[in-house]
Chain A
Amino acid sequence: MNATLGRTIILASLLVSTAGAIIAFAAGRTRSREGLKWAQRFAYAFAFLMIAATAVMEYALLTHDFSVGYVAQVGSRTVPVWVTIVSLWSSLEGSILFWGLILGIYIGIATWFTRNDYHEYMPDAIGVWLASAAFFSFLIAGPANPFLSVANPPLDGPGPNPLLQNHYLMAIHPPFLYLGYVGMTIPFGMACAALIKGRLGHGFLKPLRESLMLPWIFLTISIMLGGWWAYEVLGWGGYWAWDPVENASLLPWLTGTAALHSMVVLERRGILKGWTITLIQATFLLVILGTFMTRSGVFNSVHSFTQSSIGPTILGFLAAALVFTIALLATRIDLLESEGRLEGGVTREGMFLFNNLLFVLLTFTVLIGTVFPLVVEAINGKQMSVGRPYFDRMVVPVGAALLFLIGIGPALPWGRATRAQIRRALLPPIGGAILVSGIGFALGVRNPWTLLTLAFGGYAAQVTLTEMWLPLVQRLKRGDSFGEALVDANLGRGRRRFASYVVHAAAIVVIVAIAVSSTMRSDVELQMTRGQATTVAGYTVTLLGVEERAEPHRMSTVAKFTVAKNGAQRAVLEPRMNQYMAMREPIGSPDVYTTAGGDLYLSLMNVDIARQSVGVHVINTPMVVWIWISVIMMGIGGLAALIPHRRTAVTNYTPVVEPATPRYVKPEEVTAS
């Protein structure tokens, strides 16, 4: 019953999205308002059908309806309810349905927000969205159908992938990733629409920016959640391994970040239109590439969705999307007229361009490292992997250069500047550089790259903090009251600017924390028996004992430790080994004592209950928690930039920030208003 209903809904969504895409493109050609209205109705219908299909699947999961193929595959009566709910994205077929759901919601919301505006672009944008929707409907209806009927339903199922059950972060990380990944469809559709029309007017930049910003925030946080999960679960004490699938999430983030920056220049100066469009399109294409990486079974990774037949189908879609994009770019990019001139040299826009180049370089570096094993295997049949050394050597210098840009970019004025202006802008933050690297040196940092990162970080921090509060200071000087100035400069009209500096500040902390935590960690492997104590990095770690705990869905062997410093007990840590019935090996679950300064991380290597002895890996890593906190701050900053402020509140505004270079305004806008 559920299976039939699900299949019917999916077929309807395939029909609706295909028809909707055709109508939308036709409306784009004929500029028919009526056609656009119908395209919008089909977009809403697709959203509704996807929500309905997901509701049917969740209902089947929760009621343990094992006559539905996907439920028989991942359902289980013994797992907790939250695991049953998140089982939706625990395996291939369900995860594609989940993709469809998110795509439906995005398309529905994006259509709603643009329903009365941008008539020139929207038909083609909706066409591209629904074409993508048609592809995913096809995947769900055919190669990855979760609603297949099971002839003889089993009484119970095996439950979802144990890794998913092992940690609550697995319930949050995938939805964030999907919200980031799938959301990139929306700006992609808009960028394609601009190319199809051969025009990217200033008015269309706002929806383009906002539709890119939202998934960017989700993607940023999801990458961090993935790293956090790896850190909390995998037991090797690190958060990033340059795993192909980690890279798959990083690649679109790199181009997306570049696109957001490129758009700042476009809004102000009317230049870098081609750059912006291309970066947005590359972001979506990299999302599809990443989906292929995780779903085709071609890459070796912890995200081992088992060998599936949908690899070739997704590759076909990627190829089609690439051909479509390249054809559009080649035929239309020259129509996007630059409305200004790029001032070369040491200017802010020059730094933005340099920033784009660095991000693109980083993207290619990571991409090549990721696919290189496939190339080698194709040539000489040997299996190999590209590991840390390659990525570290290639990425660290570019990362340092980007950190340097976070510093000097915002310090420089827009447009041409005199030597004296440049000197005045760039010299003072050297104080911050010396201060921060000096503190690092005093605390024992000796690695030259880490010291350089600290210096660049200090420089960038001084610039960022100055710029962040500059409008407030200027308003105070002008005589505004503190409250008024704060609201105006940071929360109201100046919020987007303020928020972007919050993101920068957080990014600086992230980069510094990554540099410090990856070069300053210390670890020791110990064999301990009950009652034994040992001192590591100033902490006294005592093994209280080892016990076995049985839960319905797993068996756990738990070692109990106390952690004390200066004689006072700080924490009780319980690293464990979880054994799930379906797994060939136990999954370790480390336990972590977190402080602002650093983490003490205990991970079990072997356990002997009879002798009450364990082998434990004790790792002391400074600053790790700042990565999680700062990335969340980046997300909050991004959200703050996204929420619109009320323009009507401000009247009689005279620009106080950078008065020398007024905001870029398109000529026809001036005459129109």
Chain B
Amino acid sequence: MNRTVLAVGALIALAVIGILFLGLGKNPNQIESPLLGRVAPSFALREVGTGKTIGLEQFRGKPVVLNFWATWCGPCYEEHPVLVANARNLGSSVQFVGVVFQDTEEKIQRFLNDRGSSYPTVIDEAGKTAIAYGIGGVPETFFLDSTGKIVGKHDGPLTTDDLRANLAKAMGQ
């Protein structure tokens, strides 16, 4: 029995297995947005279709669902019906806003005509708003409470369950 080999080997084995075991079940791709708990960056962007300017401040007083998307994004097609239906059901108690970036107005208009819409969509032409929100890919959705503070964020296509869970936070429940 070589005690040195045993001791060194056991030490290395314990360290490696222990560290990896602690890492199990964590998702390193899920990086918490540093914007959580802060007031959402303001913007004033042109609404697709009407051409009027929409600013975030005008929705103070009710929760806001801010959905970043684009027509070139596959998963956005998937979640679009979920957003449209929920926005319709919730009526005026919650404000939904779609923010589209890296896209053209004509394509967005076609998308909305084909697939329906029930809330305003704005176009972020310079991509500055997407940068301010730290968008890593689309779709990403932010949930704001009535004071304009970001209380939740969802990466990837939304389901009605995701939406409800995050809205509950935004409504202070």
Residues of B contacting A610 with CB < 8 Å?
A: 104
**Chain A 292-328: CB-based contact to B (< 8 A → 1; otherwise 0):** 1000111110001001000110010011001101100
Cβ contact within 8 Å between A331 and B1: yes
Determine if A330 is an interface residue (Cβ-Cβ < 8 Å). Answer: yes
Query: Which parts of B119-137 form the interface with A (CB within 8 Å)?
Result: 127, 136-137
Query: Given the complex, which residues of B lie within 8 Å of A373, measured CB to CB?
Result: 28
Chain B, interface residues (CB within 8 Å), range: 35 or more
User: Does B49 count as interface, using CB distance less than 8 angstroms?
Assistant: no
**CB interface residues, B 135-163, toward A, < 8 Å:** 136-139, 156
State how many angstroms separate the Cβ of A511 from the closest Cβ of chain B: 28
**Is A312 within 8 A of B2, CB to CB?**
no
| Cα-based distance from A334 to B1 in the complex (angstroms) | 8
Q: Assuming A298-B26, A383-B31, is B21 touching A315 (CB within 8 A)?
A: yes
Of all chain A residues, the one with the shortest Cβ separation from B8 is A326
Are A319 and B17 touching (Cβ within 8 A)? Answer: yes
Cross-chain contact B5 with A606 (CB below 8 angstroms): no
Kindly provide the distance from the CB of A606 to the nearest chain B CB, expressed in whole angstroms.
7
| Inter-chain contact B137/A584, CB cutoff 8 Å | yes
Contact with B along A557-593 (1 / 0, CB 8 A): 0000000000000000000000111111110000000
Given contacts A300-B28, A322-B16, A330-B9, A584 and B23 within 8 Å (CB-CB): no
Q: Are A315's CB and B104's CB within 8 A?
A: no
Which one, A292, A299, A311, contacts B28 given CB within 8 A?
A: A299
**CA distance in complex: A334, B23 (Å):** 36
Which one, A299, A326, A583, A606, contacts B10 given CB within 8 A?
A326
Give, as a whole number of angstroms, the nearest-CB distance from A388 to chain B. 18
Interface stretch of the complex, out of A45-53, A374-382, A405-413, A415-423:
A374-382
* Most chain A C-beta atoms within 10 Å of own C-beta, residue among B20, B74, B127: B20
Chain A contacts of B127 at CB under 8 A? 606
The reply to whether B10 and A375 contact each other, CB–CB distance below 8 Å, is no
Residues of A within 8 A of B9 (CB): 322, 325-326, 329-330
When distances are taken between beta carbons in the complex, the residues of chain B under 8 Å from A297 are: 27-28
For A383, what are the chain B residues with a Cβ–Cβ distance below 8 Å?
A: 28, 31-32
Nearest CB on A from B70, distance (A)? 9
Q: Is the CB of B13 within 8 A of A377?
A: no
Contacts of A606 in B (CB 8 A): 102, 127
- Compute how far the CA of A371 lies from the CA of B156 in the bound complex, rounded to whole angstroms: 28
Known: A330-B5, A584-B137. A296 touches B28 (CB 8 A): no
Tell whether B19 is near chain A: CB-to-CB under 8 Å.
yes
Within 8 A of B (CB), among A605-653: 606, 609-610
Please name all residues of chain A whose beta carbon is closer than 8 Å to the beta carbon of B104 when the two chains form the complex: 609-610
**Which of A312, A371, A583, A584 meets B19, CB within 8 Å?**
A371
A56 beta carbon closer than 8 Å to chain B:
no
Asked if A289 is at the interface (CB within 8 A of a chain B CB), the reply is yes
> Separation in Å of the B171 CB from the closest CB of chain A?
28
A224 sits at the interface (CB 8 A): no
- Tell me, yes or no, whether A125 is within 8 Å of chain B by CB: no
Contact A329 B2 (CB under 8 A): yes
Cβ of A377 and Cβ of B74 under 8 Å apart?
A: no
Is A289 in contact with B23, judged by CB distance below 8 angstroms?
A: no
Contacts of A319 in B (CB 8 A): 13, 17
Tell me whether A304 and B75 are in contact (CB under 8 A).
no
Q: How far is the CB of B77 from chain A (nearest CB, A)?
A: 8
Q: For A555, what are the chain B residues with a Cβ–Cβ distance below 8 Å?
A: 72
CB distance from B24 to the nearest CB of A (A): 5
Q: List 13 A-B contacts (CB under 8 A).
A: A292-B20, A318-B16, A326-B6, A329-B2, A329-B5, A330-B1, A330-B9, A333-B2, A375-B19, A378-B22, A555-B72, A580-B74, A581-B74
A326-B6, A584-B73, A584-B74 known; 20 new pairs, CB 8 Å cut-off, are A298-B23, A307-B27, A318-B16, A319-B13, A322-B17, A330-B5, A333-B2, A371-B16, A375-B19, A377-B22, A377-B26, A579-B73, A580-B74, A582-B74, A582-B75, A583-B74, A584-B156, A585-B136, A585-B137, A606-B102
Closest 8 CB pairs of A and B: A326-B9, A300-B28, A581-B74, A584-B137, A330-B6, A298-B23, A585-B137, A378-B22
